[in-house]
Amino acid sequence: MKKFLLFLLLLPCSVFAQDWMIVDIISQSKKELIYKVDDGEKIERVKEKNPSIVRLIQTYTDKGYVLQYVTQGVELELDGMLPVTTANNQRNWGTTQLTLDNNNRVMLWFKKKE
């Protein structure tokens, strides 16, 4: 009986599920466009020789998706080492060699047409 009730509770979740695809543009230069495609099942990294975002949107529109949102996210990347021990006089911490990269990322949110 418990399994049947659980099935009835989960049934509406699968019926009203929407198909979304997120395209995360990593970098764009004059020569190529690098982006990740997340379709809910796998994440695929793609490099294209044509660096046009407009053509990228048109490609997914032709596949049956509608562009719903365009968002921008900030990716902070911290590389380097933190000092584990103090300096010789035991009062001052040693210097760190950390580099901070600030990358702005554009994400395109596509929804499958019904």
Mean pLDDT, to the nearest integer, of 19-38? 89
Instruction: Please give the mean pLDDT across all residues of the chain.
Output: 77
Checking if the pLDDT of 75 tops 80, the result is no
Checking if the pLDDT of 8 tops 90, the result is no
Instruction: Tell me, rounded to whole angstroms, the distance of Cα 104 from its chain centroid.
Output: 11
* pLDDT of res. 23: 92
Domain boundaries, the chain: 18-79+99-114
Checking if the pLDDT of 84 tops 60, the result is no
Handedness of CA 46, 50, 56, 60 (dihedral sign): negative
Handedness of CA 108, 111, 19, 53 (dihedral sign): negative
* pLDDT of res. 91: 57
Checking if the pLDDT of 83 tops 70, the result is no
